[in-house]
Structure 1
Amino acid sequence: MAGSEGALSGVKVLDLSRILAGPTCTQLLGDLGASVIKVENPSTEGDDTRQWGPPYVQDKDGNRSDLSAYFMSSNRNKKSVALDIASAEGQAEILRLAAHADILIENFKPGGLAKYGLDYATLSQKFPRLVYCSISGYGQTGPNASKPGYDLMAQGYGGIMSLTGAADGAPMKVGVGIADVMCGMYATVGILAALRHRDQTGEGQHIDLALVDSQIGWLISEGVNYLTSGQVPQRRGNGHPNIVPYDVYETSDGHVIIAVGNDGQFQRFCQFLGLEELADDPRFARNPDRLENRDALNAVLRPALAALSMTEVIAGLEEKKVPVGPVQQLDQVFDSDQVAARGMRFAMQAAPGQVELIGNPLKLSRTPVTYRRPPPEFGADTQDVLGSNDPFED
């Protein structure tokens, strides 16, 4: 996709992060037009996720590249530079790149870059306009600051696993690295806020972001439910803590989601099922009553829905203006007309061959996102960047 300059065209990002949280942030900045240089460690053959496969992209001869699907999910619109920051030469090159950069993002353990002279305290003295974002498991302060943090640990420590899974089952992680992804989103928001401050005042600043903090931050209603009531929320499978019926229901040939958000929708839902008496039953007439009698209501609804097909349920409830939808597998998702219409699947030509990627959901009317660079092979841009007077030139 080519076209007008992105909203962040001219912004230069030095990316010292790896795995998912930091790369998610820098890919988003790159999609919005920023120039991103990703620094990778030659002693580990680059970002850890290059080895997190299969699947991998293969070249025309069937040889495996270092482009794993996991790596590609968060590393387009970047140049890859192989640099050993433990060496004096590598440190000097990072300083040269930082002199050009607006933003530096890193996810080393707290204090890990100080021994190389690449920590915020040191770089802010040299480059006071630099926006410096540090991502770690538990943040730069607190009793757990020195502990390593991965997505799964953040989901466990931050409480989301205690809310996820079957009511009578074990705590369950979310199916993707959502703590990492959301941390990357918070990092993006923080960086853009810091850039606005920098552009108004000339002052850079440090952004201290923790996986666990961001995970706790998006507990949202369940977190405030606990803070308000003092009652620890329990796992409910796909059920909603505050609305009934709002769940996944089995039909004769698949599963549907039914999300009844108010009492009027419940009345129309009951009409569709031919169970109008439920809407008049004092146990179910109002949402607080339905919450109290969730199991009794579902005992009536589940067999009634199981006797119908997915098509019947979806068409019938859509006609009644009751929110309903299918539970789709990924082949159905990515082959859908909706995905095609919204540009949520696209192809790029990478070094080993064509790759398919997930589109950016942002639709900006004046400065649309652009996909200018495919996910890079390890160190592919090292010589160009190190030998350039303008290393961020896109």
Structure 2
Amino acid sequence: MPTASSALARFKVLDLTRVRAGPTCVRQLADWGADVIKVEMPEGLDTGEPMGGPRDGPDFQNLHRNKRGLTLNLKAPEGVAILKRLAATADVVVENFRPDVKHRLGIDYEALSAVNPRLIYASISGFGEDGPYAARPGFDQIAQGMGGLMSITGEPGHGPMRVGIPIADLCAGIFAAQGVLVALLEREASGKGQWVRSSLLQAQIFMLDFQASRWLMKGEVAPQAGNNHPTSIPTGVFRTRDGYINIAAAGHHIWERLAKTLGAEAWLSDPRFATAKARSDNRDALQVLIDACTVTDDSASWITRLNEAGVPCGPINSIDQAFAEPQVRHLGIAQELDGVRYVGQPIVLDRTPAAIVSHPPALGQHTDEILTELGFTPDEIEQARTAKIV
């Protein structure tokens, strides 16, 4: 199997994850060249309801590229013994079971670090590995709501609104991957592994960012603001002759440029808009006035004119339009392999770039290859398959 990158090629990762947050973490390692072994239950033994769509669907395909595949029955002692043999030669294990499951199976950090003290063991949970909510099943939308995001998303007066992507899942996975990389760097000094933990709830709280610090430092509870920026006005969505555009007029100098470009210099001496606070207090009136100007021309014309004037402005694309943008095409984030297009990494390294070099493995596609690397004979592999261990 070709290597996606030389950056992490010296590391072996055991992927025990499923659904989204865990696979998101592992994808960050696989795309940078780590030897990732995706461990799944043998066919017919996984009774859990699949999530993320069918194996050949776009969601599964995009999450699980650049991996090898092994089937292993972790509910059997023989399967756990094989996993421990794998862990003895691995650098990283990533799992997102509910916190009690790994202990019940005997594959928790303590159990695996006993056979490999250098092992980095990453766990992603819904709410944390301990605490009053630890046993609850985690789900992205639950974390969005509990973590405050839905209370500040959507139009005022229309109730809470979820974000259109599973942002808690995705961020928990990315933060876990960052934790793995930090632990690998620290291991170079200490020679020791450690347990890395992240959760959907922690990730969602962290992603509140300045809205969280407004509460923690100033006691301000942010309300919904719809498409308006909560603190920088006018920044939001404005109607044009043929649709809508985003305008971000943050700061007084950009506000002056916007007013001049719209042919509304009188606004600059209007006390309702003279300061940032005044514009915030009168945001609804300002929205109406700007809409009345922008609706007189089409989106493309305003985008050109405002950007030329130094006013940040852009289209509001559908997803197909986003991928058709000349700059998106130039950046090459849509990457093709054998006629299949994947979402590539948003990070560029000039010497050791990431690549998509293999489609997700079929169930157990590399089982024989991986067990042979561990020293199993063909007869032993066949015996394990007959016993439904692999």
* TM-score (norm: length of structure 1): 0.90
1:283 match: secondary structure? helix
Q: Which residue number in structure 1 is paired with residue 262 of structure 2?
A: 273
Contact 1:43–1:84 (CA under 8 A) maintained in structure 2: no
CA deviations on 1:133-153 (whole Å, 9 max, x unpaired) are 111001112110111101111
2:227 is aligned with 1:242: no
Contact 1:250–1:305 (CA under 8 A) maintained in structure 2: yes
1:377 match: secondary structure? coil
One-letter identity of the residue aligned with 1:373: S
CA deviations on 1:64-123 (whole Å, 9 max, x unpaired) are xx3111112211111121211001221111111111110001111112111222111122
Structure 2 distance, partners of 1:260, 1:319, is 14
Contact 2:16–2:96 (CA under 8 A) maintained in structure 1: yes
Contact 2:262–2:293 (CA under 8 A) maintained in structure 1: yes
Which residues in structure 2 correspond to 1:260-299 (within 5 Å)? Answer: 260-299=249-288
**Identity across the alignment (%):** 39
Contact 2:5–2:31 (CA under 8 A) maintained in structure 1: no
- Does the C-alpha gap of structure 1 residues 390 and 150 become closer, same or farther in structure 2, counting only changes over 3 Å? farther
Contact 1:256–1:324 (CA under 8 A) maintained in structure 2: yes
One-letter identity of the residue aligned with 2:361: P
Structure 1, unmatched stretches of 5+, are: 57-65
Contact 1:18–1:48 (CA under 8 A) maintained in structure 2: no
- Does the C-alpha gap of structure 1 residues 149 and 50 become closer, same or farther in structure 2, counting only changes over 3 Å? closer
Q: Which residue number in structure 2 is paired with residue 370 of structure 1?
A: 355
2:156 is aligned with 1:167: yes
Q: Which residue number in structure 1 is paired with residue 365 of structure 2?
A: 380
- Does the C-alpha gap of structure 1 residues 223 and 386 become closer, same or farther in structure 2, counting only changes over 3 Å? same
Q: Which residue number in structure 1 is paired with residue 184 of structure 2?
A: 195
Contact 2:337–2:357 (CA under 8 A) maintained in structure 1: no
1:366 match: secondary structure? coil
One-letter identity of the residue aligned with 2:346: P
Structure 2 distance, partners of 1:47, 1:130, is 29
Q: Which residue number in structure 1 is paired with residue 291 of structure 2?
A: 302
CA deviations on 1:25-58 (whole Å, 9 max, x unpaired) are 11111111111011112367779796644xx6xx
- Does the C-alpha gap of structure 1 residues 46 and 388 become closer, same or farther in structure 2, counting only changes over 3 Å? farther
Structure 2 distance, partners of 1:266, 1:90, is 64
Q: CA RMSD in A?
A: 2.0
One-letter identity of the residue aligned with 1:75: H
2:100 match: secondary structure? coil
- Does the C-alpha gap of structure 1 residues 44 and 310 become closer, same or farther in structure 2, counting only changes over 3 Å? farther
Structure 2 distance, partners of 1:108, 1:87, is 17
Q: Which residue number in structure 1 is paired with residue 384 of structure 2?
A: none
Contact 1:238–1:247 (CA under 8 A) maintained in structure 2: yes
Structure 1 distance, partners of 2:298, 2:370, is 58
Contact 1:39–1:83 (CA under 8 A) maintained in structure 2: yes
1:112 match: secondary structure? helix
2:197 match: secondary structure? strand
- Does the C-alpha gap of structure 1 residues 45 and 250 become closer, same or farther in structure 2, counting only changes over 3 Å? farther
Q: Which residue number in structure 2 is paired with residue 312 of structure 1?
A: 301
Structure 2 distance, partners of 1:279, 1:47, is 66
Contact 2:3–2:33 (CA under 8 A) maintained in structure 1: no
Contact 1:19–1:48 (CA under 8 A) maintained in structure 2: no
Q: Which residue number in structure 2 is paired with residue 122 of structure 1?
A: 111
Structure 2 distance, partners of 1:287, 1:145, is 44
Structure 2 distance, partners of 1:140, 1:221, is 26
Q: Which residue number in structure 1 is paired with residue 8 of structure 2?
A: 8
Q: Which residue number in structure 2 is paired with residue 360 of structure 1?
A: 345
- Tell me how far 1:229 sits from its aligned partner: 2.9
Structure 2, unmatched stretches of 5+, are: 377-390
- Tell me how far 1:211 sits from its aligned partner: 0.8
- Tell me how far 1:390 sits from its aligned partner: 8.0
* TM-score (norm: length of structure 2): 0.91
- Does the C-alpha gap of structure 1 residues 390 and 327 become closer, same or farther in structure 2, counting only changes over 3 Å? farther
Match of 2:61 among 64, 72, 81: 72
Q: Which residue number in structure 2 is paired with residue 61 of structure 1?
A: none
Contact 1:107–1:136 (CA under 8 A) maintained in structure 2: yes
CA deviations on 1:301-348 (whole Å, 9 max, x unpaired) are 122212221022111101211000000111112223222211111222
Contact 1:22–1:106 (CA under 8 A) maintained in structure 2: yes
2:359 is aligned with 1:331: no
- Does the C-alpha gap of structure 1 residues 232 and 90 become closer, same or farther in structure 2, counting only changes over 3 Å? same
Tell which deviates more after alignment, 122-131 or 372-381. Answer: 372-381
2:28 is aligned with 1:28: yes
One-letter identity of the residue aligned with 1:276: E
- Tell me how far 1:5 sits from its aligned partner: 4.5
Q: Which residue number in structure 2 is paired with residue 17 of structure 1?
A: 17
2:373 match: secondary structure? coil
> How many aligned residue pairs are there?
375
2:227 is aligned with 1:228: no
Match of 1:389 among 374, 382, 390: 374
